[in-house]
Amino acid sequence: MEDSPNPPPVAQMASPALPSVLEPAETPGAGPSTTPVPAPARRVYTKKTKKKTEGMMAYTTAFVPMGINIKIPAGDYLTKERNVDVARQLSLARAKQEKAAAEEEKQRLTEEGKEVPEHNPLDYTLIIHPGSRNLRLGRASDFYPKEVPNCIARPSKALNGSRYDPPVPGSRAKRVAREQIEKREAKRRRAEGGEDVEMNGNGNSNGNGRVENDDDDDRPWVDPVNENIGHLREYLRNRLVQERLATDWKEGTRVKATNAKVKPEALPEHNDPYRIDWTEPEGKPFFVGTEALRLPESAGYKVRYPILNRSLNRRDWASSQSLLDDIATILQESLRTELGILPKEYPKYSVVFIVPDHGDRVYVQELTDLLLSVLDFKEIAVHQESYCAIFSAGMSSACVVDVGAEQTSVTCIDDGLVIADSRIKLNYGGDDVTSALVTLLQRSNFPYRELDLAKAQEWLMMDNLKNKICTLEEHLVANTPWDFYLLKTEGLTQKYVFRTYDENILAPLIFFDTRLIDFEEKKGNGSFRFWNTSDDDVSDEITSWYDEPTGAMKACTVHLLPPPAAPVETVTETNGDTSAAIANGAAEVKGENSVETKQPESTAALAPGPAAAVPSNSQTSATATPAPETTPAPVAPIVTIPPRAEPELSAYQIITEAAKSPLDAAIAASIAMVGTENKVKTAANSILLVGGSSALKGLGAFVADRLPPLLRQKGFPISDVSIVPPPRNLNPRFVSWKGASVMCHLETLSDMWIRRDEWEAVGQRALKDRCLFF
């Protein structure tokens, strides 16, 4: 049929053909059909990849880098925390691989029947605690550390870069006194000669023959050193009167007369217990430690200490590289001579490095880099001195007072956490007591007239004499004989016998009256700076409170600020009584509404009329009476005197001036920053004295006597305090070192290690992540 719905016949083929993608498989007719119609199939296009070529590099074998991913630029690596953590995880993975390889090697040797040497892990952990005078170092398994003088001696000819020598204690005061005496003698001679020329305050004439008046020259000049000694002696007399101790003050004159007649006694060589073996120069480029201190003066060497005030000595060195080289030399020689560790064995050892509680971040960074990058130690852990001290004493909360040779620090710890605002460092220590003792003895006719503190052996002699005779026990004020021995490179040892009255007690009193300390002299002349993180032009992303002024420092410098300014006054020009009536009307409206609008002073002062005192509709009550409409007379604008800017001390001024505070005031300021009254009582009852100079006889009792009144002035009702002695009769110099040794036995130390590869990849960020204080 013509209208048949069936499609026309298709030519027979060998195999059925697939329907065309351009035509449907079946052409539908007009009527219904029972045959399902399949969906049209889509052709799949296979994309042919063509080899990518870059310009003229298509026919070469050179590597062609891919394009930069904009989402992750190349400069982002190790600059954000998510990338820094990658380097840290890689370092930990390497540590695990090294540990696993060591275990496999140990197991292999055991299976082969070979003897595997067992070693204590603490034998490969070194604890290094550098100080201003001594370097304490040793293995974590040792009971006591090795103490080495932290100094190096180099030939004078090799120190061409050093412009200045270290200042000699007392030299500046002598120079000032000599200049004043010479100036007044010159003025007296000019006056006797009849010359019509007078000197000005600086010792110079005015240049035109006219007389220049100077009131200070008309009064007799008083040596400031003698004046400050007078303050100390007056305080001691008042203390003796308070304690009802009778003394004969004429004994001081008798002591001076007796010392003026003393003659030295030579000791025979066979009966000399103090004889030492002097160091032979032998043309060596340097000497370290005890050998440096025993060099004869004729050898032509200069002894210098690379650590000053528990930081890098920028005063006596000309460059940072020479300073760090000398520190590395001292460490290498000390490890070789004291512990028998050679530089090739350093990669096997881990180091626990003890740093000050409040210090210079550059000091921590540079010495960490020196130990890891230069000396190639395996890993390092950094801890603070006070934190290590409480581990040694077995305490969780304490006020740690560390009295060193050149610096004293006070820090409070609460439940094992260092309280940042309680830290304060003082720029004096045991060396200042030695210098003060020398000053006092020389004014009492000290028998050794040629004393020179610039010589290493004579300084050691006076330092040992200080440890022998100085005390803070007032009842020992008396005419007392002492002796000391002068060692000579050529000739016999000489014995001197002298007497003291109150000199041995006045010297340590400088801890509580610092006017006798010459802080200007200790600064020296030379200085340099590290051109990295300490440069002001370089922005450091890492900031911390480690080297910033603390609350205790600010509390010790409040007296330097002027009193608060008077309240701000307003000056108003009015025309008759009109402005007064307007003011009264505004006051009535304000009283009726019982609502006061709070506006800034500047906005209120600039308001021309009573509208400034009228509250808005949203603030008034439903029964508020609206202000009467009045036409105010023209009033001149109110002139407000702007408040005076309150002066503030800079960070450098706070740290510098707080470092001159007396010891008892610093301890009171530190304890007051602990927090609540209960915490203050806990800190006051657990004051831990550590450091070499804390062994001064009577220091603990003296602090305990002066501290309660100062705490009561700050509002804390404390009647007495307790001084904790060093644990188990341990030398106070070794308390912090021993605490680090105890810490090495704990597993928690494993989270503090900074490996060498992590330091090279991350840098100082590793200190920020590992150390809470940095």
pLDDT at 582 over 60: no
pLDDT above 80 for 240: yes
- By DSSP bridging, strand 687-690 and strand 398-403 are parallel
| Mean pLDDT score of the chain | 79
Q: Looking at the predicted structure, is the pLDDT value of residue 699 above 60? A: yes
Cβ atoms of residues 278 and 294 within 8 Å: yes
For 181-231, the pLDDT digits (tens) are: 888 888 888 888 755 444 444 444 443 433 344 444 566 778 889 999 999
CB distance 316 to 308 below 8 Å = yes
Predicted confidence band at 755 (pLDDT cuts at 50, 70, 90)? very high
Count other C-beta atoms under 10 Å from residue 234's C-beta: 10
Q: How many CB atoms lie within 10 A of CB 555?
A: 21
Q: Which of 34-38, 114-118, 538-542 has the lowest mean pLDDT?
A: 538-542
What is the pLDDT, as a whole number, of residue 342?
95
Q: What is the pLDDT of residue 769?
A: 82
Between 699-713 and 663-672, two packed helices, what is the crossing angle to 10 degrees? 50
Residues contacting residue 752 through CB under 8 Å, at least 6 positions apart: 381, 382, 383, 770, 771
Confidence class of residue 46 from pLDDT cuts 50, 70 and 90?
A: low
- pLDDT score recorded for residue 766: 87
What was the pLDDT predicted at 662?
A: 96
**Judging by beta carbons within 10 Å of its beta carbon (0-12, 13-18, 19+), is residue 137 exposed, middle or buried?**
buried
pLDDT of residue 114: 78
| 114-142: average pLDDT | 90
pLDDT in tens, 651-691: 999 999 999 999 999 999 999 999 899 999 999 999 999 99
8 A C-beta contact, residue 382 and residue 771: yes
E strands, 528-649, where? 570-571, 639-640
pLDDT value at position 55? Answer: 54
Contacts of 314 (CB under 8 A, 6+ apart): 308, 323, 526, 527, 528, 529
| 418 three-class SS | strand
Helix, strand or coil for residue 751?
helix
Burial of 439 (0-12, 13-18, 19+ CB in 10 A): buried
**Residue 480: strand pairing partners:** 500
pLDDT at 338 over 60: yes
Q: Where are the beta strands (DSSP E) in 99-208?
A: 125-130, 134-139, 146-149, 152-155
- pLDDT at site 491: 85
Burial class (CB in 10 A: 0-12, 13-18, 19+), 672: buried
CB-based contact 153:760 (threshold 8 Å): no
pLDDT of residue 484: 94
Q: At residue 292, does pLDDT exceed 90?
A: yes
pLDDT at position 133:
94
pLDDT of residue 111: 81
Coil, strand or helix at 152: strand
**CB of 197 within 8 A of CB of 209?**
yes
Dihedral sign for Cα atoms in the order 554, 558, 559, 560: positive
Number of neighbouring beta carbons within 10 Å of residue 253: 11
CA 525 → CA 120, 310, 318, distances in Å?
A: 49, 19, 11
Stretch 50-63: mean pLDDT, rounded?
57
Q: Has residue 106 got a pLDDT over 60? A: yes
pLDDT at residue 333 above 60? Answer: yes
Beta bridge pairs of residue 409 = 402, 425
Write down the pLDDT at residue 82.
61
pLDDT value, residue 166: 86
Element (H, E) at 382: strand 379-384
> Which residue type is seen at 249?
W
Q: What pLDDT shows up at residue 594?
A: 38
3-state helix, strand, coil in the chain (%, to 5): 40, 10, 45
| pLDDT surpasses 80 at 115 | no
The beta strands (E) that lie in 608-660 are given as: 639-640
Exposure string for 59-71, b = 16+ CB within 10 A, e = fewer: eeeeeeeeeeeee
| 129 burial level (CB within 10 Å; 0-12, 13-18, 19+) | buried
| Dist CA 277 CA 145 (whole Å) | 24
- 424 forms beta bridges with 410
Q: What is the pLDDT of residue 52?
A: 53
Q: Minimum mean pLDDT among 58-72, 276-290, 299-313, 577-591: which range?
A: 577-591
| Residues near 663 by beta carbon (within 8 Å), at least 6 away in sequence | 401, 408, 426, 511, 512, 703
Give CA 675 to chain center in angstroms: 22
Judged against a pLDDT cut of 50, whether residue 19 lies above it is answered with no
In this structure, of 297-301, 488-492, 568-572, 625-629, the range with the lowest mean pLDDT score is 625-629
Render 545-575 in DSSP notation, one character per residue: SSSSPPHHHHHHTGGGSPPPPPPP-EE----
- Give the pLDDT band of residue 528 (cuts 50, 70, 90): confident
Measured CA to CA in angstroms, residue 491 lies from 140, 268, 357 at distances of: 44, 10, 46
Mean pLDDT comparison of 117-131, 202-216, 324-338, highest-scoring range: 324-338
| pLDDT score for 69 | 56
Q: Is the dihedral of CA 9, 11, 16, 17 positive or negative?
A: negative
**Confidence at residue 566, expressed as pLDDT on a 0 to 100 scale:** 60
**Average pLDDT over every residue of 219-248:** 88
Of 136-150, 263-277, 606-620, the least confident: 606-620
pLDDT score at 607: 37
C-alpha 406/C-alpha 427 separation (Å) is: 7
Q: What is the DSSP letter of 199?
A: B
Q: How far apart are CA 248 and CA 12, in angstroms?
A: 145
Query: How many residues in the chain?
Result: 774
Q: Phi and psi dihedrals of 171, rounded to 5?
A: -70, -35
What is the model's pLDDT at position 388?
A: 94
State residue 28's pLDDT score: 47
Beta bridge partners of 351: 126, 380
Give the alpha-carbon dihedral of 632, 636, 638, 642, to 10 degrees.
Answer: 160
- 374-402 pLDDT per residue, tens: 999 999 999 999 999 999 998 999 999 99
pLDDT at 411 over 90: yes
Structural contact between residues 274 and 487, judged by C-beta atoms closer than 8 angstroms: yes
Most confident range (mean pLDDT) of 19-28, 49-58, 142-151, 271-280 is 142-151
pLDDT of residue 230: 92
pLDDT at 285 over 70: yes
Instruction: Report which DSSP code applies to 723.
Output: E
Least confident of 430-439, 650-659, 746-755: 746-755
DSSP string, 45-98: PPPPP-----GGGTTS-S--PPPPPSSS-GGGTTTSHHHHHHHHHHHHHHHHHH
Q: In sequence order, which residues have a C-beta less than 8 Å from that of residue 166 and are 6 or more positions away?
A: 304, 305, 315, 316, 524
Q: Is the dihedral of CA 374, 380, 383, 385 positive or negative?
A: negative
The proportion of the chain whose per-residue pLDDT surpasses 70, expressed as a percent, equals 73
Q: Cα separation of 83 and 76, whole Å?
A: 8
In this structure, what is the dihedral angle of CA atoms 686, 687, 692, 697, given to the nearest 10 degrees?
A: -100
